Chain A
Amino acid sequence: MTFELSHYNAALLFALCASTVFGITQRNTPKDMFRYGAYCFVLFAVGVIVASWAMWVIKH
C-alpha cells in the first residue's frame, strides 16, 4: 500500500490531524475547541508557506 502526496498536501494533512488533537485537548468547550483547532491549522498552513519562501530566499 503506497500513498502519493505532494509535499504541501502532506503538510496540510499533518496540520489537519495535529490541529484536531490540539483543539480537542487544549480547550474546554466545543466552540473554543473548534476555534483553537482552526487557529492551529491556519498557523501550520501559513507557517509552511513562510518557511518554504524563507528556504527559497536562502538558496537564492
Chain B
Amino acid sequence: MANPQSTAKVSQRPASAAVTTTGSSPAMVTLAGWLVPGLGHILQGRWIRGILLMLAVFTMFFAGLGMQGKVYSFNTGDLLDILGFVGDLGAGVVYFLARSMDWGAGNIHRAVADYGTKYIVVAGLLNVVAAIDAYHIAIGKKQ
C-alpha cells in the first residue's frame, strides 16, 4: 500500500517545505520576475522557461512600441487610462526604460497603433502572470 505522504501532489505540500534551488526567498524571485521578465524562473534554475517568458514579454512589448503604441504614464484621469498604466507597469524594467527614453507617444492616425497599445498592456499583464508563476515554484506549489 502506497504511503499517502509520498503520493501527495506538489500542490498539497506545505509552503514552508519549499526551498528554491538557489536559496532565494519567494518574495525575491517574484520581485526579480516582475522587474526582469523570466528572471524569477532563471534564478530557480528554470532556464528554458525563463528565456521563453523573457522572449515572449519582450517581443510583445517592443512589437507594441514598434507599432507606435502608447505607453501610459501615471495618471488620475480616465479609468481606462489608469488601468492602462497599471498594465504597462507590470512589464517591469522595460516600462521604466520606455518612460525614461520617452518611447511610446502613441499615434492616433494609425489603426495598428491601437494594437500596439494593447500589446504593451498585455505584455505587462503576462509578466505579472509569469512572476506569480515564479512565486508558485518558489513555495513548492508548482514544479
B129 engages A25 (CB within 8 Å): yes
> Chain A residues with Cβ under 8 A from B57's Cβ?
17, 21
Per-residue interface assignment for chain A, residues 10 to 29, with 1 indicating a CB less than 8 Å from any chain B CB and 0 otherwise = 10011011101110110011
> Which listed segment binds A: B24-32, B58-66, B76-84?
B58-66
> Chain A residues with Cβ under 8 A from B126's Cβ?
17-18, 21
Contacts A7-B112, A24-B52, A29-B143; A13 near B129 (Cβ below 8 A): no
B49 engages A24 (CB within 8 Å): yes
Is residue A55 contacting chain B, with contact meaning CB distance below 8 A? no
Q: Which of A39-53 contact B (CB under 8 A)?
A: none
Is residue B39 contacting chain A, with contact meaning CB distance below 8 A? no
> Chain A residues with Cβ under 8 A from B143's Cβ?
28-29
Per-residue interface assignment for chain B, residues 44 to 73, with 1 indicating a CB less than 8 Å from any chain A CB and 0 otherwise = 000001001101110110010111100000
Question: How long is the Cα–Cα vector from A24 to B51 in the complex, in angstroms?
Answer: 11
A10 engages B112 (CB within 8 Å): yes
Give B residues with C-beta under 8 Å from A. 10, 49, 52-53, 55-57, 59-60, 63, 65-68, 111-112, 115-116, 118-119, 122-123, 126, 129-130, 132-133, 142-143
